[in-house]
Amino acid sequence: MTAKVVQLTPLEFEPRAALPTPEAAAHLNRAQQTLRLWACLENGPIRPIRVNGRLAWRVADIKALLGVQ
């Protein structure tokens, strides 16, 4: 089984306000399931927003967590 490669835009140039879980996980160097656990248990360093039942992770929160300007 091969892993899907996610093409990442550097956070400094990211035009979107929120990212889907696979992209957010790649930026944070965490497994997607880790982010889903953060959302479910509400105990992670950042919290997602839900859009039509799907998780979206704010780019501003990811930048703040990583210390990116």
Beta strands 49-51 and 18-20: pairing type? unpaired
Confidence of residue 1 (pLDDT cuts 50, 70, 90): low
Amino acid residing at 31: A
* pTM, 2 dp: 0.88
**How is residue 33 annotated by DSSP?**
H
Per-residue pLDDT band for 3 (boundaries 50, 70, 90) equals low
3-class DSSP assignment, residue 2: coil
Contacts of 24 (CB under 8 A, 6+ apart): 35, 57, 62
Is residue 25 within 8 Å of 31, Cβ to Cβ?
yes
pLDDT at site 42: 96
Average pLDDT over residues 35-63: 97
* pLDDT for position 69: 79
